[in-house]
Amino acid sequence: MDWYRIVGTSHIAQQAVKDVERAYAEFSPDIVAVELDPPRLQALLAEHREKPSFFRLLRMVGVTGALFAALGGAAQRKLGRMVGMDPGAEMLAAFRLAQRDGKRVLLIDRDLRVTLRRLRFGWREIRQLLKDLWRGLLGKDRLSFNLDRVPSEAVVGKLLAEFRTRYPQPYAALVDERNKHMVRSLLDYHETHITERILVVVGAGHVGGMRCLLEA
């Protein structure tokens, strides 16, 4: 199929912005689709990003979702500072390229609040999480790839396979369900705009699953 091209990114890798810019120039899309929902786009566009309090997160998405959002956000910001990148810079770059050329932007991801509310950890997964945290404190299982670059497909595939095995319920909410939602968004648009070419900018962990669904 030549009506779409998927660019897999890392939300903190400097290479990701260059990859988006290169793909945009080469593919010359009519539409740019990004792994965002409206609130997250507005947060990226805001000059001063006000983070919701933990208690507000609790009311919106529950205990599990609030903990995941708070810890995940803090980790991403820390890694971003290590490499001098604001998390989500590549999504913002894609949006601004489309805006510059007067092209439409599709926000194809599921509302983050829905994803966080659907996040569940069973007892086996909680035990696995505690085990993984303990191994991390002991300095085991450290990642060895360059944070400045988007991980290779082989690395991404290995990480996803381990994540799916260790945490099947979170994997379903964070990866599988969102892949299906984003593909459905793309297909719905394509059905009524069959001549338009779509550049799809998503995290590298979604690329393989989305391609399988699009080519099925």
Tell me the residue range of the domain where 36 lies. 4-215
- Judged by DSSP in three states, 178 sits in helix
pLDDT tens digits, 38-93: 988 988 888 655 666 656 656 665 666 656 655 565 545 544 454 445 678 899 99
Question: How many separate domains does the chain show?
Answer: 1
pTM, rounded to two decimals = 0.83
Gap between the Cα atoms of 33 and 201, Å rounded:
6
Average pLDDT score over the chain:
82
CA distance 200 to 203: 10
